[in-house]
Structure 1
Amino acid sequence: MVSSFDQQTGYARADGLLPGAVASAVGYSSDGDLPRLHRGLPSPYLTFIISLDGPVVGGYTPEQATGERALRADVLAAGLHTAASYVVQPERQSGLQLAIYPPAVRRLLATPLGEITDQSWNAADLLGRSATRLWERVGNTEGWAERFAVLQGFLTHQLDRSDSRRQMRPELLEAWKWLVRHRGAGSIGGLSEHVLLSRRQVQTLFVREFGVGPKMFNRLLRYHRSIRLISARISEQHSIGDVVDDHPAGAAGVDLARIAAECGFADQSHLNRDFVAFTGVSPTAWIAEEFPNIVAGGHRNGDADDPAP
């Protein structure tokens, strides 16, 4: 289940940790890197992080992340944000990061995703002492396979103890699956007809459960796929030895117009507009900023290839 830790890339991956609930599970570790401000990207998942080398420190603006009002959490839960967040990456860091399917959040965290999207950071606010005990157990465990086993046991326990009150309406589950199957290209009218609810009902119920409406979720799906394809194309063309200090030319071989078409954008300008809205910078600026991490596999290990179980 767990791949061996790759010293060169700094990642280990646990495939099939909890099928149908966890899209991906990644262990990360680095030491000796220059501290920097990392741009956390929106995604169609809940992000769950257990930090083993001090708390995750960040915020929703660079000023908040680096100032007195910075958010701190040893165990972090972040929902479907529609703009980048910012995380202070220290010289030394390690931990586990999960991408959790939105319908599973209600059962794993005992609350719908829609109630934690805009204000979440510290998972202890959702799980109470359970979050602290999980952090302590993982922190006291040696080896990636053993750490993932602890996490798997915790999540399985959360699922086993969930009751009917944690089950979402079947129409909502089907609405989410339908949007994912269409990869951000499904119309709201088509969705409404498919689940036999009015457009207003679909909008209201979807926002209540997931924190964003179906139209915004479509945009997140397209954006997320564009990140995956950009990262894959760069990784195909470059190795870690290609990383240079100041000005990586990683964008040179990426056909953004083709990626826009593959992801369902009207054209490259449409991709650029959504990319700036979600990321805060253009695709080419983001590639230059993230080039070393992309080549190392950071954006291939963080999420699943397809956000559907």
Structure 2
Amino acid sequence: MGAETDDLLWDIVCPARPIRMPGVTMAGFRDRGITPPGLRLIPHPAVALVLVFGGTIVVEDTTGRQQHGSFVTGLGFGERLAALRVDAFECLQVRLSPVVAHAVLGGVVADLDTTAVTLDDLWGRESARISERLGDLPSWADRFAWVDAWLARRCAASSRVAPEVAWAWRRIDASRGTVRIERVATELGWSRRQLWSRFRSQVGLSPKRVAKLVRFDHAVHGLVAGQNAAGVAADSGYTDQSHLHRDVMAYTGLTPATVVDEPFLAVDDIAWGWPGPVRK
């Protein structure tokens, strides 16, 4: 499926066939030459692989470090990430649930809290081979199929998160971030400290921060869909509208009234079939 409308910054292509692995979504992006500098990437509850195979993308993370080319971000990527420069790029973006991300990326997931990491730094020469392969393939369908198979191979050869951690993620996700973490620990038969430690070491964030991110993600998409802020706050489990305002500001630097115009949020229904994050 492709999207080519005059009000979009990018041409967007989605897989026509289901991805074989639960917890994985993909979309292809082609710059239309009008992407503004300093564009914010809005946090979402998934690890993102951005596989660049044409043009240039330069991003800056919350540490002020600039990254060139293909990169990976952690859950929420430190609350803010900006694309400083984009030049006629093409990329295939993959969103991974934290459960799948651990299998694909291994222990590095736990170190992605406040940074974006280039795939050159993470995988060395393999990063260049991935970009070259994607650039050589003749169609988006071929690229999606190749990345799907590549991810399956990586997962098959890697360790998975503990079943209890995977269950805790699904519990938080299904509740849209509103379940109390103490209750999750009780349902698992774990202490709060045990859940915190195991979850943080394998997912990269504490369960409370993940719940906060999941809740924000659902709330901000409610705003984009045209719901009023008071209703979104009530439906999303915020104590009041001011609580929602603080979370939106913390994650984006914008107010609930202005965040709805962010380009990356505006295309989520096209690229990712919103509503709903990747699961498993």
Q: With the length of structure 1 as denominator, give the TM-score of the two structures.
A: 0.81
Q: Deviations over 1:261-281 (max 9, x none)?
A: 222212211110111011112
| Residue 163 of structure 2 corresponds to residue 193 of structure 1 | no
User: 1:216 & 1:299 partners in 2: Cα distance?
Assistant: 25
Secondary structure in 2 matching 1:111: helix
| Residue 36 of structure 2 corresponds to residue 35 of structure 1 | yes
Higher strand share: 2
Q: Does the CA-based 8 Å contact 2:58-2:84 persist in structure 1?
A: yes
Q: Deviations over 1:157-205 (max 9, x none)?
A: 212322xxx1222211111111112111111221111111101111111
Distance 1:55 1:286, change over 3 A: same
Secondary structure in 2 matching 1:184: coil
Amino acid in structure 2 at the alignment position of 1:20: P
Amino acid in structure 2 at the alignment position of 1:21: G
Among 211, 230, 242, the residue aligned to 1:257: 230
- Counterpart in the other structure of 2:12: 11
Amino acid in structure 1 at the alignment position of 2:71: L
| Residue 247 of structure 2 corresponds to residue 277 of structure 1 | no
User: 1:171 & 1:19 partners in 2: Cα distance?
Assistant: 20
Q: Does the CA-based 8 Å contact 1:112-1:210 persist in structure 2?
A: no
- Counterpart in the other structure of 1:132: 128
Amino acid in structure 1 at the alignment position of 2:20: L
Taking the TM superposition and a 5 Å limit, the aligned residue runs for 1:220-235 are: 220-233=213-226
Return the index of the structure with the highest Cα Rg: 1
User: 2:108 & 2:272 partners in 1: Cα distance?
Assistant: 22
Query: Could you tell me the percent identity over the aligned residues?
Result: 25
Amino acid in structure 2 at the alignment position of 1:121: V
Structure 2 residue runs of 5 or longer lacking an equivalent are: none
Q: Does the CA-based 8 Å contact 2:59-2:82 persist in structure 1?
A: yes
User: 1:219 & 1:34 partners in 2: Cα distance?
Assistant: 30
Q: Does the CA-based 8 Å contact 2:74-2:113 persist in structure 1?
A: yes
Distance 1:173 1:294, change over 3 A: closer
Among 214, 222, 229, the residue aligned to 2:207: 214
Report how many aligned residue pairs link the two structures.
Answer: 273
Q: Deviations over 1:119-165 (max 9, x none)?
A: 44212333333222111100111221111112112112212322xxx
Q: Does the CA-based 8 Å contact 2:67-2:116 persist in structure 1?
A: no
User: 2:201 & 2:264 partners in 1: Cα distance?
Assistant: 35
Distance 1:185 1:228, change over 3 A: same
Q: Does the CA-based 8 Å contact 1:26-1:96 persist in structure 2?
A: yes
| Residue 88 of structure 2 corresponds to residue 92 of structure 1 | yes
Shift of residue 293 of structure 1?
5.5
Moved more, 36-45 or 115-124: 115-124
CA RMSD in angstroms comes to 2.2
User: 1:272 & 1:191 partners in 2: Cα distance?
Assistant: 27
Among 174, 193, 196, the residue aligned to 2:167: 174
Structure 1 residue ranges, 4+ long, deviating more than 4 angstroms after superposition: 292-295
Q: Does the CA-based 8 Å contact 1:293-1:299 persist in structure 2?
A: no
- Counterpart in the other structure of 2:276: 306
Q: Does the CA-based 8 Å contact 1:114-1:212 persist in structure 2?
A: yes
Distance 1:293 1:223, change over 3 A: closer
Distance 1:282 1:303, change over 3 A: farther
Amino acid in structure 2 at the alignment position of 1:79: G
Amino acid in structure 2 at the alignment position of 1:194: E
Among 148, 153, 161, the residue aligned to 2:149: 153
Q: Deviations over 1:224-244 (max 9, x none)?
A: 1122222333xxxxxxxxxxx
| Residue 19 of structure 2 corresponds to residue 26 of structure 1 | no
Taking the TM superposition and a 5 Å limit, the aligned residue runs for 1:73-92 are: 74-80=69-75, 81-90=77-86, 92=88
Distance 1:137 1:30, change over 3 A: same
Amino acid in structure 1 at the alignment position of 2:36: P
